[in-house]
Amino acid sequence: MKLGIVGLPNVGKSTLFNAITNAGAQAANYPFCTIEPNVGVVAVPDKRLDQLAEMYHPKKYTPATIEFVDIAGLVRGASKGEGLGNKFLANIRECDAIVHVVRCFQDDDIVHVDGSIDPKRDIETINTELILSDLEVLDRRIERTQKMIKADKKYQAELDFFKHVKDVLNEGKAARTVECEEDQAELLASVALLSNKPIIYAANMSEGDFSAGVEKNPYFGVVKEFAESEHAGVLPICAETEAQISGLEPEEKVLFLADMGLDESGLDRLIRACYSLLGLISFLTAGEPEVRAWTIREGTKAPQAAGKIHTDFERGFIRAEVVAYDDLIACGSLAAAKEKGLVRSEGKDYVMSDGDVVLFRFNV
């Protein structure tokens, strides 16, 4: 999964991104790699994996990971090619979801590109660039649909829908705000519009505001209201604190957070929020060679989940031996869980649950 971090200049994107890459680099157990300078990989925190590691003492410990892409330099005029605009838009296109950092902190020493702190204006500035780019893409699709109607009238409904989406975009609203029936949602997804991507608005505020209670920050309510109007996610965050925490050893990190009255870092909250926004869950595999978490979408069936591990597993799928994580831990071992009849044999129509510990049986 790939998340693009966007936002105006000087809102705290790089600070957050540095926290992310530091966190990845610090977690020496985790496979960390910098693929490109603007890509950071972090582990998805999952306490269940630690428990399984205690049970199996595996040679390898592999959490699920998320990639964050720092999409800096998105400014007013980007859709018209200002400041390498199109390159940034292309970067966003490759992401599964967007984290939009919004400045909610006051600091006279740090210039705001538009002269004042105004989260709604800032959000709209960035969204407008995405919407303008979407209008170009949608116009091409509308043209194509008009040609198809000449051959077959059945495309009229599609055309009407696309024109409706265009009206919404022309009002300055994101495509994600369009009310859709299920088949229309599929149609909309087929156009791959930037403003239809799932989004979380990250309200970046000072540490003082954060610990005093985020609702007291005068700008947070504005961001929250906007996010709600789009049925989007919203998350208060303090990028500077995240940057400090990310350099700490795990034990120090726990103490630092406890001092602030928190039990997890903002980065961990962000990762969890992205998971729920995207409808993602994890299944687990456990044995002496490796304990590992795998990311799938809610509703994924067993063969497709097996395909995450290897395409052969999906092609030759026979069945899945599944035990719920809580059952496995309660029994203390897989053998004990088997004795109690808690290890189920599931077929190709089984819909995976979060925390399933699985062994796939397959033909090669």
Binding residues for ATP: 10-15
206 touches ligand GDP by CB under 6 A = yes
Pairing of strands 2-6, 97-103: parallel
211 touches ligand GDP by CB under 6 A = no
Task: Render 256-300 in DSSP notation, one character per residue.
Answer: HHHHTT-SS-HHHHHHHHHHHHTTEEEEEEESSSEEEEEEEETT-
14 touches ligand GDP by CB under 6 A = yes
Partnered with residue 361 across adjacent β-strands are 319
Q: Which is nearer to ligand GDP, 177 or 206 (CB)?
A: 206
Angle at 245 between CA 244 and CA 246, to 5 degrees: 95
- Where in 66-105 is the site for ligand GDP (CB under 6 A)? 72, 105
7 touches ligand GDP by CB under 6 A = yes
311 touches ligand GDP by CB under 6 A = no
Backbone angles phi, psi at 282, to 5 degrees: -120, 140
User: Strand, coil or helix: what is 360?
Assistant: strand
4 touches ligand GDP by CB under 6 A = no
50 touches ligand GDP by CB under 6 A = no
Closest separation in Å from C-beta 235 to ligand GDP: 14
Q: Which is nearer to ligand GDP, 131 or 205 (CB)?
A: 205
In terms of Cα–Cα distance, which of 103, 97, 72 is closest to 203? 103
Please select the residue that binds ligand GDP; options are 50, 94, 107, 186, rule is CB under 6 A: 107
236 touches ligand GDP by CB under 6 A = no
Q: Which is nearer to ligand GDP, 20 or 131 (CB)?
A: 20
Q: Which is nearer to ligand GDP, 238 or 343 (CB)?
A: 238
Place of tokens 């087929």: 190
Closest separation in Å from C-beta 114 to ligand GDP: 13
Inter-axis angle of helices 13-26 and 239-246, to 10 degrees? 20
240 touches ligand GDP by CB under 6 A = yes
Closest separation in Å from C-beta 217 to ligand GDP: 10
Closest separation in Å from C-beta 118 to ligand GDP: 16
Count of residues that bind ligand GDP according to CB under 6 A? 18
Task: Render 6-25 in DSSP notation, one character per residue.
Answer: E--TTSSHHHHHHHHHHHHH
Which of these ranges, 3-11, 55-63, 132-140, 249-257, lies near ligand GDP under the rule CB under 6 A?
Answer: 3-11
- Measured between alpha carbons, how far is residue 111 from residues 24, 82, 115, 116, 175 in Å? 30, 20, 7, 8, 31
Q: Which is nearer to ligand GDP, 13 or 292 (CB)?
A: 13
Contact between residue 5 and residue 225 where contact means Cβ atoms under 8 Å apart? no
User: Strand, coil or helix: what is 179?
Assistant: coil
Q: Which residues bind ligand GDP (CB under 6 A)?
A: 7, 9-15, 72, 105, 107, 110, 204-206, 238-240
